[in-house]
Amino acid sequence: MIRTVLGDIDRSRLGMTLAHEHFIIDLDRIRKDGISRIDTPEEVIPEIRLMMEDGIQSAFEVSTIDLGRDVEKLRTISQATGLQIVASTGYYLSPFHPAELESQTPEEIARIYEKELLEGIGDTGIRAGLIAEIASSPEAFVGQEKKILVAAGIASRRTGAAVSTHTGRLTAHETIQILLDQGMDPDKIILGHQDLIDDHEYHLSLLEHGVNIAFDTCGKSAYMPDEIRARNVLSLIREGYGDHLVLSNDISRRTYFTSAGGPGYVAVMRIVVPLLRQQGATEEELRKLLVDNPARIVDNDWRQVSCS
């Protein structure tokens, strides 16, 4: 079963899925640029309806506890649009962390994740279906970043929940090692933002461990041209890794909305998927990226687990 904000659904019902999105988010709390936030269902729903016109049925909403996550608003969005949303538990980059993380042990943090996955978030009755997006700083693990990752590995081993990350090149191998050291199933790991690194050999060195990697900044052409994203996806498919790739847009502020002239939540379907088709990807290969892989990774026998 897959755990959404409206309850558990059968894996076969997930359909076309974006694996790393934000619908309600507050990065502005730390960035203070006045634009890095999405506050209301009303402003994001028209953008979500656009992506659903292209066939998207589900999304993993990876906003963390410390990124302004609001699962009641996610429930409102899901009810209004019909989009199936998997919400997350977890912590983001060090500057966003609440002070109490400093004195907590990995075990104590794992219990926070488990409570949100198994019992519910606060008293909303809404449960997280994923541990995400667990972040590390670009150069190295900073502050409590290693601890929140160890905790994710512990909670995943005990609950079967998947772990999705915010990871750069310099912490990627260590991230995999830390999670596997906790006894995690590598197929429950999604390393995020790997499309920002244009290096086929590097991607292979990650995938060798049996993990999944996300090409999740589709449409952000200032960071990486979508032609290169598509080319790298296709090279990995041709190497036999089509079962371990997922796609998304990672829209994290309203200035990325199509209504503001940005790429919006539609870049995967309107830019990258057409490029993949042009470059020779088959419908079956696209179906793996958009349907089969996301469903397999977050599918879990939730009835078998209870809070420790």
Q: Give the integer Cα–Cα distance in Å for 40 and 254.
A: 10
Q: Is 247 helix (H, G, I), strand (E, B) or coil?
A: strand
Q: Is 78 or 249 the residue whose CB approaches Zn ion more closely?
A: 249
Q: Is 194 or 237 the residue whose CB approaches Zn ion more closely?
A: 194
Q: Is 47 or 285 the residue whose CB approaches Zn ion more closely?
A: 47
Question: Closest CB to Zn ion belongs to which residue?
Answer: 250
Q: How far is the CB of 19 from Zn ion (least distance, A)?
A: 10
Q: Is 59 or 211 the residue whose CB approaches Zn ion more closely?
A: 59
Q: Is 26 or 250 the residue whose CB approaches Zn ion more closely?
A: 250
Contact 212/245 with Cβ under 8 angstroms?
A: yes
Q: How far is the CB of 192 from Zn ion (least distance, A)?
A: 7
In total, the chain counts a number of residues equal to 308
Largest CA distance in the chain: 52
Q: Is 257 or 302 the residue whose CB approaches Zn ion more closely?
A: 257
From 46, 8, 21, select the one nearest 214 (Cα to Cα).
21
Q: Give the integer Cα–Cα distance in Å for 234 and 118.
A: 37
R_g over Cα of the chain: 18
Q: Is 47 or 250 the residue whose CB approaches Zn ion more closely?
A: 250
List, in order, residues 6 or more apart from 222 with CB less than 8 Å away: none
Q: How far is the CB of 233 from Zn ion (least distance, A)?
A: 19
Beta carbons within 10 angstroms of residue 177's beta carbon = 10
Amino acid identity of residue 119, one-letter, is E
Q: How far is the CB of 132 from Zn ion (least distance, A)?
A: 8
Q: How far is the CB of 125 from Zn ion (least distance, A)?
A: 25
Q: Which residues bind Zn ion (CB under 5 A)?
A: 250
Q: How far is the CB of 252 from Zn ion (least distance, A)?
A: 6
Bridge partner residues of 21 (DSSP) = 61
Q: How far is the CB of 22 from Zn ion (least distance, A)?
A: 6
Q: Give the integer Cα–Cα distance in Å for 82 and 57.
A: 8
Q: Is 134 or 234 the residue whose CB approaches Zn ion more closely?
A: 134
- Helix boundaries (H) for 10-144: 28-31, 41-53, 71-81, 106-118
Bridge partner residues of 189 (DSSP) = 163
From 286, 304, 308, select the one nearest 1 (Cα to Cα).
304
Contact 8/2 with Cβ under 8 angstroms?
A: yes
Q: How far is the CB of 265 from Zn ion (least distance, A)?
A: 13
